[in-house]
Chains A and B, each alone.
Chain A
């Protein structure tokens, strides 16, 4: 809960920019009204005797030339209501409608983003952010469960200085492919495959380990796997049917491995663990061995290890410990340096293959030593204050002088299509940052595996694992450590930045990658260093942050979001990604194995990382394109319409006379021009989905926001101006000598109907010109809208012939009355 943040409500950047456009429109409205009102105040003159301007009847003040300032004010209000059509109120409704359909019908129903194995379609949890998906420049990705499957499989191990396991990881394959070598794989037919276990080595299977040089070590290794855990067995007590309930998939994988090696953990009671051991005393012999569990020293993120003290049936006391290599190595007994050295090499080898490693160790306990320690342990356990810390301290007392058994390597496979997807996203101009809790080596390897980093890139590594820092840390003075670390990080950042800038100015320099670990990040995120970190990381094509806490993930995200003003997307699957998902402009949750928290916090949920390409490059890009078109078109059509009215004001004595009938004006946005633009918002596409993915570079238009710049708006405004002038002057110049077949001339409403027809027809046809693809629905809606106008005017003229259309004008005099108290 410490990492929890307030849930932000997200609005898309485009919508925020739209607000600015609307403000501009309001300013334009004000300027137009001002011009009109000044004109009105200048125009009123008693010489126009037919207007009776100086009469003193109630409500006559609106045009009384004796008080021109009042004329100005009242006309201002009249004109504001008259020109209010410039503000596209229906725009928001239309956009909401379009986005709703886009998210519920297109994104949620897209078969390209439907995961068959888990029967999960994509899910847009908000319809606010569709077009934001088309402008993402930075992706922050979690690793486990997002880039990888979060299906842990026991893959290799190192026991007593010997590596077992013949598999080849995808990463190794990737490395080999890059260097041009070919790896032939010999999958033996009798390899045991089950969920969590992908290991094959005849030297260990079916009791063959007895013939290995170090059978005792092997035995301890397997026992450690079978005993040192907090897994609960479930179901039938047979190897085939049993199910393990584990806190993490890694733990389950280890217990499954033990089972396959012949150490079958099948029952747990509060004090006992039952293991069915095979081949221990001699080949083929199976016996059930109960171990009494005396203490469990549990895993947590500071300890990074887990220990169990158990009593053998024969009374032997043994402590089994498994944990991260760094913490285990610190606590090993002296001697046996060969094995330590070899195992460390193996660990590095595993790490560079992208495997997750754990070290196993054990220790025989003397009963007296144990008893005295146990007292302290019980005391700590029953203490009321600081129990956690005290327990940690007590554990520290017994977890030393351990004997190294070996290490395990668990593979967390990359999800299908991740490297290709990342490659595509990179070509689209998107920068991908991986934020992971893993160690630096694993993170770098994952970076390699998924094409994020390659050998041509210049890598900057800022790590806290340097000798200088370690030395200071050993002295243990917290303040000193902090000061020193900060200096170090600052120095590092500075030198990296300088180097990066030298590459940057030389243009043809290599692409840059930054790798930074959580501790350094903590200092680098300090306000004084933040700018430097931002400058450096924005110049990098790939950034990997390892060993970061959930809060740091969110901090990094908001650093880029606020500092660089770029649009960010966070993708993750676990509860530890929630704050990052909430911090970014767009949060994407992977509906995977680690519960639903990430999905509940996200704006979009997809089943696999690779669907991100579809979500961004296809749906995001199209949505962005469409919404931009809808917005600019709305702007255009309302401006055009209002401007014709504006030009008329100049020739109507600035009186605020309506050019168009009330009904025309109110139905303009609702019926005559409403549907086609929605159709464009739904169906327009410049290139097909497959081309969008084939040429990801198209996406860069969205990042640069080329379709909704002020320049684009200005071009549309120019078209509005020009077209409205044409409408108005063509119609007005023809009205003087215009006559019907009987020589009768036209009145105000005839002329305005003509002008309105021009506006409706042109504005609708203009829409077809901005379409990149035209479906039959375009034709139907455009034709239908124009037809609707003609049908409407046909019916309306028939109905309203008895009275001229004057009813509406009372509204303005009412408004006038509000201003001047009678």
Chain B
């Protein structure tokens, strides 16, 4: 539709100087006369084809690079929530998890598909677990976590606010439901050392959880949701709790458990001794153990690479189609004959 010939043009002064008035050339004058210098992006076949081509050239390599990065990550995912129940109890999972007398010990054998370089991150993954439910997300008290007991109101922690007269420290659903499965790893005969320090975000440890706050009355109530905390360790050192309390965005999430700081070779078999304490059975959740190395792009995720490749290829195809159309059907530009009103009159 654009009838300007060039792909970009600077509009010159529209108005001659009016006699009797001083000629004005400032930006304000240009603004008022709507004459600001502007570039006009005109969609000519050349620019369109070129830009699609360019997008193809950007996205295909980008996709390849990210796919490569994703492929370089070795990831072992093991779902253990069902396997860890003794056969005879699988029909009644709730009984299994709520009965304290049944042993929760469980062993898993993981085969390393490719050699894994240290550090190897250990995550636990929960599926169908709504840490992002509104009731859950708000059920905490940040002031209490940082400053401990005080005159702070803990009403936000409802429904797990206080035990007896004192507020629970830390109060709220999130803390109450802290994850408490534990994992021990060994390879062959030697135990693999798991570093469980420094698994929480530094800002959380330093600025959100107090050094003088001790969970002295935690998990004393009649209902027990998750793990217990050592009453003699300040919250800022309870890294499992800190990790747990950074609530996840989606109902499937991973949280860091620790790091194995040794390389693992291909075809090694890792034995995992785990305590299957946490109740994910009542709501049909899944529990998984994830061992993963890391690349410069993070964990294993093919999605972005595949998506980029798809976009890049698509742009390439479009540019080729446009090119063919243009070669087959060229027409001059800036011809008023092609404007809508002229077309209409010629067709009628």
Which A residues are within 8 Å of any B CB, using their own CB?
45, 47-53, 55, 57-60, 62-63, 78, 105-106, 109-112, 114, 116, 507, 622, 648, 651-653, 655-658, 683, 685-691, 695, 697, 700, 730, 732-748, 750-752, 771-777, 801-804, 806, 809-810, 812
Contacts and interface: CB of A to CB of B under 8 A. Distances in A.
B134 A809 contact: yes
B207 interface: yes
B9 to A, nearest CB: 9
B184 interface: no
Interface of B: 1-4, 11, 14-15, 18-20, 31-34, 36-41, 75, 119, 121, 123, 125, 129-138, 140, 142-143, 146, 156, 158-161, 173, 176-177, 198-201, 203, 207-208, 225-226, 243, 246-256, 259, 279, 282-284, 292, 294, 298-301, 303-304, 307, 336, 339-342, 348
A683 B159 contact: no
B249 A49 contact: no
Contact of A652 (B14, B130, B177, B254): B130
A744 B199 contact: yes
A4 B228 CA distance: 85
Contact of A804 (B39, B160, B208): B208
Contact of B304 (A110, A655, A730, A804): A730
A675 to B, nearest CB: 16
Q: Which 8 A-B pairs have the closest CB atoms?
A: A737-B299, A751-B249, A655-B134, A747-B246, A50-B177, A773-B38, A697-B341, A743-B121
B92 to A, nearest CB: 15
A738 B298 contact: yes
Nearest to A658: B134
Contacts of B36: 683, 775-777
Contacts of A752: 249
A732 B159 CA distance: 29
Contacts of A63: 135
Contacts of A771: 41
Given A738-B301, A743-B119, A105 B32 contact: yes
A801 B225 contact: no
B301 A733 contact: yes
Nearest to B36: A775
Contacts of B304: 730, 734
Contacts of B40: 772-774
Contacts of A685: 34, 38
Contacts of B173: 50-52
Given A109-B32, A657-B137, A739-B298, 7 more contacts: A49-B282, A736-B252, A736-B253, A745-B248, A745-B253, A777-B36, A802-B208
23 contacts: A45-B283, A47-B283, A50-B176, A50-B177, A110-B34, A648-B132, A651-B132, A652-B130, A652-B133, A652-B134, A657-B132, A657-B137, A695-B3, A735-B253, A737-B298, A737-B299, A745-B253, A745-B254, A745-B255, A752-B249, A772-B40, A772-B41, A803-B208
B133 A739 contact: no
A60 B33 contact: no
Contacts of A651: 132, 250-251
Nearest to B24: A111
A177 B198 CA distance: 94
A49 B282 CA distance: 8
Nearest to A427: B341
Nearest to B146: A802
Contacts, number: 226
Contacts of B119: 743
A49 B225 contact: yes
Contacts of B256: 739, 743-745
Nearest to A809: B138
Contact of B132 (A78, A748, A810): A748
Nearest to A57: B159
A597 B306 CA distance: 70
Contacts of A689: 14, 34
Contacts of B292: 737
Nearest to B122: A743
Nearest to A112: B15
Nearest to B32: A109
Given A687-B3, A688-B11, A744-B200, A53 B135 contact: yes
Given A49-B283, A52-B160, A651-B251, A734 B301 contact: yes
Residue of A63, A689, A743 most packed against chain B (CB within 10 A): A743
Nearest to A736: B252
A748 B247 CA distance: 6
A653 B246 contact: no
Contacts of A739: 121, 256, 294, 298-299
A374 B199 CA distance: 118
A110 B198 CA distance: 67
A51 B130 contact: yes
A775 B125 CA distance: 50
Contacts of B176: 50
B158 A57 contact: yes
B249 A747 contact: yes
B133 to A, nearest CB: 5
A775 B140 contact: no
B339 to A, nearest CB: 7
Contacts of A812: 134
B14 A690 contact: yes
B14 A695 contact: no
A822 to B, nearest CB: 13
